Amino acid sequence: MASQLLRRAGKLINVSASATKNLASSLAPISQANRSFASAAEDTNPITIEIAVPYKAHKCEPPSLLATTTPQELVQFFKTMFLMRRMEIAADSLYKSKFIRGFCHLYDGQEAVCVGMEAALTKTDCIVTAYRDHCIHLGRGGTVKEIMSELMGRKDGCSLGKGGSMHMYKKENNFYGGNGIVGAQTPLGAGLAFAQKYSKVEGVTLAMYGDGAANQGQLFEAMNIAALWDLPVIFVCENNHYGMGTAEWRSAKSPEYYRRGDYVPGLKVDGMDALAVKQAVKYAKEYALTKGAFVLEMDTYRYHGHSMSDPGSTYRTRDEISGVRQERDPIERIRKLLLAKEIVTVADLKNMEKEAKKEVDDAVAQAKPDPSELLSHIYVKGLGTEVFGPDRKEFTAVLP
Amino acid sequence: MLPESSLVLGLSFEVKTETGSTATAQQGHELLLFEALREGLEEEMERDPTVCVIGEDVGHYGGSYKVTKGMAEKFGDLRLLDTPIAENSFTGMAIGAAMTGLRPIVEGMNMGFLLLAFNQIANNCGMLHYTSGGQFTIPIVIRGPGGVGKQLGAEHSQRLESYFQSVPGLQMVACSTPYNAKGLMKAAIRSENPVILFEHVLLYNLKERIPDEEYVLCLEEAELVRPGQDITILTYSRMRHHVLQAVKTLVSKGYDPEVIDIRSLKPFDLFAIGNSVKKTHKVLIVEECMRTGGIGASLRAAIMENFFDELDAPIGCLSSQDVPTPYAGPLEDLTVVQPPQIVFAVEQLCKH
C-alpha cells in the first residue's frame, strides 16, 4: 500500500520534472539589462514562451505550444497568484483560531488555473464553480476584504455573511458561485450557457468541477444537453487527483477526465502552468463560441487537505506534497520566468510580496455580524408573513 | 359582474357558485383546465420574451397533458425546449438560466419525477437568493401534474407538496379550477420568487367559463368557495371537488359549511382562514396529502397556534392513508378521502 502511494506520488511530481528542464532551455534572456520595474509592469511588448508540458487532445487538434504573453501580464500573474496564496494561508490560520467556522476549502496550489482562465476571458463570460471558490471570486473582481468578511460571517461580506465559504457570488461580473453540493453546479453551468445562447450574448460559460464530481451522473446529463443544443459551455475539470480523501485511481475506472465527454472534444492541460491554462482556455473559448461544448482537464494539485477538517496527509505522503511544491509550484514557475527574462529583480518581487501580505492583513480586521440580516432575502417581494422564535413569546419579526 | 380578485393582498374574496364559475350567463368563454393553463402560458410568453418552457415532450409532442399543444410551432424550439429524460440536470439548467434573468417554466411530466431534481430545487432554487446575499433572484416556475390518478400506481401518484413545504424560499400554490389555474399560472410566471404550481392529473378536463379579459390572481390568497356558518372546511386541489360533493349532502341534511380552497400551500393565507375560524369556530381540513407530515399537519399547527381561543372543537383533518398508492381501483379509492367520510367528519365535529 505504501509502495503504491510512493509510486503514484512519483507520477504526480514527475509530470513536469522533465518539463522544468525544458523550461530552462526555452528561456532566452532579454538583452536590455536592469530595466526598471515600473516599465516592466506596463510593458506590453509581446514575448513568446514555449509551454513545457504538451497538451493531450481528444477529438480535436491541440493548440500550439507557443504562448504569447507580455511582461505586464506575467507580473500580473505573479501578483495575483501570490495574493491568492497569502489569502488562503490567512484563511487557514483564521480557521485554526476559530474565526472561520464550518467548512473551508482552500485553493492553494491551484492558483494557476484561475489566473490563466481569467487571462483568456472577459467579464461577459460566466463562471460557475463548486465550493473551492475563494480565489475564483477574487479573480472575478472580488476584493480580499469582502472575501475575508464573508468567511468570518460579517455583514460586509460578499454575500452579507449569509453564504459563507461555499457561497460566494458576484453577479455584476457573471460569477455564479459558490455551490455546496458536489456536481450540482454543472447543470447550472449548462443553464448559464443556455441563457447566453437564448439572449444572443457573445460569451461562454465555464462550468468548473473537480475529479470527484466527474463521477456524478448530472455531469454527464449536462454534457449531453450541452452538446445536443450546441451550448457555449466549457466544462473545466480541476483534477487535483483526490476526491476528498479518495485518490482518483480508487474512485474512477478511467482517470482520463478530458475524454469523459465522449462525443465532446477535450484537452488535458498542465494546470500548474498559468500560460498553458490561458492558451487552452483561449482555444476552448473559440471552439465553444463557434461549435459548442468543450471539456478541459486541468492537471493540478492542492497542498491543503480537502478542507480544513482534513489534514490531507492520511491518504497521501508528505513527500508527495513537498515534491509537487518544489517541482511544480505555479508561483515559483512564474517567479523563475520573470527573473530569467529579467523583467523584474528579486527586490521588486519582494516588494510585491510585501504589498500582498499587507493587503491581506488589512482585510482581516472587521466588524461584528449583524443579526438583522437573518430574515431578509428569503422571499423577493415582501409577504408580511410572521416568523416566531422558538419560544413564541419574545422574538417575532415580519419577513421583509 | 367581474370577480374582484386582484393583486391586492388580503381583502378581496370572490363569492362563487358551487361549480366555481363566476361570470354571468354568456360572458367569457368556456374551456377545459389544461386549455386554461395554456392560455395563461401563451399570454405570458407573448408578453415577455424571456419566458420559456423546459421539459420532456413539451415542444413537438405538445405536452403529455396537452398544456403546451401548438406552442412550439408558434414560439419556436428554443422557447419550448424538449429535454432528454434528465430531470436533475434540466431543472438545474433552468435554475442557472433563471439566475441570469430568464424566466423558465420547468414542466415535470409527473410531479413525482421531480424527486430526482430535489437537490436542485431545495438547495439551488430555494436558497440561492439567500446565500448570495440577495444578488440573484430565481423567477422560475416548476409545475406539473401530481396527486392520485386513476390507478397509475404508487410511483406515479405522489403528492410532493409535503416534501417541499419546509424548503425556505419556495412558494407553493395548487390550482383546482380553470379559472384559478390560468390566474395562478400567470401570477407564478410574473413572480420574482421560485413558485411550484401543483396541478392534478384528474382535473385537466374540468370545464368552466372564464372571463375574456386578462386577469392575474394573487399567489398568497385563499379562495372562498362557499360562505357558511357552521364549520370551516379547508381544502385544495382535487379534494375541493370531493368536498363540494359532500356539501351537497350536508346542505340537504341542514348543515351550512363554509368552504375555503386554500390555494396557497406555502405560505398559508392565515388572514382568510382566521376570519373564517372566528366565524364558525370549527375546522375540518380535507387534503390528499399523506397524514404524516402533509400540508394538513402544518395547517393544523398554524391554526392552533394562532386561533386556539376561537376553536370550539379539535381541528379535524382528513388525509390520505400513509400507504403507497395501490394499483387496484377499490384499494386506491380507500387510500383517498371520499365524500361520505367528509360528511361523517362534519357531522361529528358539529356535535361540539
Quick one: average pLDDT of A359-373? Answer: 70
Quick one: pLDDT at residue A378? 75
Average of per-residue pLDDT across A89-98 = 91
Contact B130, B94 (CB under 8 A): no
Angle between helices B238-252 and B339-349 (to 10 degrees): 60
pLDDT of residue A26: 46
Tell me, what's the pLDDT at B18?
42
Query: What confidence score (pLDDT) does residue B82 get?
Result: 92
pLDDT for A377: 73
Q: Which three cell numbers stand for residue B109?
A: 411530466
CB contact under 8 A, B93 and A191: yes
Inspect the interface and report whether the beta carbons of A158 and B129 lie closer than 8 Å: no
Span A31-55, mean pLDDT? 75
Q: Taking residues B219-239, what's their average pLDDT?
A: 96
Which residue has better confidence, A368 or A13?
A13
Of residues A163, A229, A26, A174, the one with CA closest to residue B127: A163
Residue B332 pLDDT more than 60? Answer: yes
CA neighbor of B31 nearest in space, from B286, B209, B252? B209
Give, in degrees to the nearest 5, the angle at Cα A369 between A368 and A375: 160
Average pLDDT over residues A120-145: 95
Q: Is A190 on the interface with B (CB under 8 A)?
A: yes
Q: Per the CB < 8 Å rule, is B130 touching A181? A: no
List the one residue out of A99, A123, A225, A191 whose CA is nearest residue B128. A191
User: Beta B29-32 vs B207-210: how paired, if at all?
Assistant: antiparallel
A80, A134, B289, B344 from A143: Cα distances, Å: 11, 10, 49, 66
For residue A186, give every residue at least 6 positions away whose Cβ sits within 8 Å of its Cβ, in sequence order, or none: A207, A209, A213, A216, A218, A219, A222, A223, A235, B89, B92
Cell 482585510 belongs to residue: A363
Residues B81, B53: contact at Cβ < 8 Å? Answer: yes
Q: Is the pLDDT of residue B8 over 50?
A: no
Residue A100: per-residue pLDDT? 87
Q: Which pLDDT does position B320 carry in this prediction?
A: 95
What is the distance in angstroms between the CA of the first residue and the CA of the last residue of chain A? 58
Residue-averaged pLDDT of chain B: 90
Question: Please, is A56 exposed, middle or buried when counting C-beta atoms within 10 Å of its C-beta (0-12, 13-18, 19+)?
Answer: middle
The rounded percent of chain B whose pLDDT value lies above 70 is 93
Q: What's the rounded Cα separation, in Å, for the pair B331 and B172?
A: 29
Task: Give the confidence band of A30 by pLDDT, cuts at 50, 70, 90.
Answer: very low
Q: Do A192 and B129 touch (CB under 8 A)?
A: no
| Cell digits of residue A90 | 490567512
Q: Above pLDDT 90, what percent of chain A?
A: 66
Q: Give the separation between CA A363 and CA A366, rounded to whole angstroms.
A: 7
Mean predicted confidence (pLDDT) in B17-42:
77
For chain B, say whether A222 makes contact (Cβ under 8 Å). Answer: yes
What is the band of B202 on the pLDDT scale with cuts at 50, 70, 90? very high
Averaged pLDDT score across all residues of chain A: 87
pLDDT in tens, B115-129: 999 999 999 999 999
In tens, the pLDDT along B302-318 reads 999 999 999 999 999 99
Q: Which residues pair with B172 in a beta bridge?
A: B196, B266
Rounded Cα gap, residues A136 and A113, in angstroms: 9
Task: Answer whether B93 sits within 8 Å of A187, measured CB to CB.
Answer: yes
pLDDT at position B9 is 35
pLDDT tens string B250-305: 999 999 999 999 999 999 999 999 999 999 999 999 999 999 999 999 999 999 99
Alpha-carbon distance of B193 to B13, in angstroms, equals: 24
Residue A400 has pLDDT above 80, yes or no: no
Predicted local confidence at residue A177, as pLDDT: 86
What confidence tens digit (pLDDT) does each residue in B171-181 have?
999 999 999 99
- Read off the pLDDT of each residue in A255-272 and give the average, rounded to a whole number: 95
Nearest Cβ partner for B102 among A158, A195, A385 = A195
B45 to chain A, closest Cα gap in Å: 14
Query: Which pLDDT does position A309 carry in this prediction?
Result: 87
Q: Note whether B166 contacts A: Cβ–Cβ < 8 A.
A: no
Contact residues, chain A, for B91 at CB < 8 Å: 187
Q: How many CA atoms lie within 13 A of B138 on its CB side?
A: 35
Q: What is the ipTM of this complex?
A: 0.75
pLDDT of residue A6: 66
Asked if B113 has any chain A CB less than 8 Å from its own CB, the reply is no
pLDDT (0 to 100) of residue A369 = 47
Under an 8 A CB cutoff, do A170 and B135 touch?
Answer: yes
Of all helices (H) and strands (E), which one includes residue B105?
A: strand B103-107
**What pLDDT is attached to residue A200?**
94
Q: In the predicted model, is pLDDT for residue A356 greater than 50?
A: yes
**Predicted local distance difference test score (pLDDT) of residue A155:** 81
Whole-number Å distance between alpha carbons of B163 and B159: 8
The model's pLDDT over A149-161, given as tens digits with 9 standing for 90+, comes to 999 888 888 998 8
Which of B94, B96, B136 is the closest to A189 by Cβ?
B96
Residue among A198, A199, A233, A386 with most chain B CBs within 10 A, to mutate: A198
Test the B interface: residue of A194, A216, A385 with most B CBs within 10 Å: A194
Q: Does B9 touch chain A (CB under 8 A)?
A: yes
pLDDT of residue B23: 47
Closest CA–CA distance from residue A301 to any residue of chain B (Å):
28
Q: Which residue of A has its CA nearest to B79?
A: A198
Contacts of B96 (CB under 8 A, 6+ apart): A128, A176, A187, A188, A189, A190, A191, A192, A194, A195
C-alpha to C-alpha distance for B73 and B240, rounded to whole angstroms: 35
pLDDT of residue A366: 63
Q: A196 and chain B: CB distance < 8 Å anywhere? A: yes
What percent of chain A shows pLDDT beyond 70?
A: 83
Residue of A nearest to B192 (CA): A380
Catalytic amino acids of B? 87, 156
pLDDT tops 90 at residue A102: no
Per CB-CB distance under 8 Å, the chain A contacts of B95 are 187-188, 191
* A272, A301 Cβ separation under 8 angstroms: yes
Q: Supply A228's cell numbers.
A: 445536443
Residue B120: its pLDDT value, please? Answer: 95
Q: What angle do CA B256, B262, B267 make, to 5 degrees?
A: 145
- What pTM does this model have? 0.81
Q: How far apart are CA A277 and CA A390, in angstroms?
A: 52
Q: Which amino acid is at A194?
A: F
Q: How far apart are CA B171 and CA A133, in angstroms?
A: 29
Residue B60 pLDDT greater than 70, yes or no: yes
Q: Which of residues 38-57 of B touch A (CB under 8 A)?
A: 50, 52
- Taking the C-alpha atoms of residue B137 and residue B99, their distance in angstroms, rounded to an integer, is 6
What pLDDT is attached to residue A266? 96
pLDDT at A29 over 90: no
CA distance A303 to chain B (A): 28
Three-class DSSP labels, chain A = CHHHHHHHHHHHHHCCHHHHHHHHHHCCCCCCCCCCHHHHHHCCCCEEEECCCCCEEECCCCCCCEEEECHHHHHHHHHHHHHHHHHHHHHHHHHHCCCCCCCCCCCCCCHHHHHHHHHHCCCCCEEECCCCCHHHHHHCCCCHHHHHHHHCCCCCCCCCCCCCCCCCCEHHHCECCCCCCCCCHHHHHHHHHHHHHHCCCCCCEEEEEECCHHHCHHHHHHHHHHHHCCCCEEEEEEECCEECCEEHHHCCCCCCHHHCCCCCCEEEEECCCHHHHHHHHHHHHHHHHHCCCEEEEEECCCCCCCCCCCCCCCCCCHHHHHHHHHHHCHHHHHHHHHHHCCCCCHHHHHHHHHHHHHHHHHHCCCCCCCHHHHHCCCCCCCCCCEEECCCCCCCEEECC
A377 and B119 within 8 Å at the Cβ level: the answer is no
Residue B21 has pLDDT above 80, yes or no: no
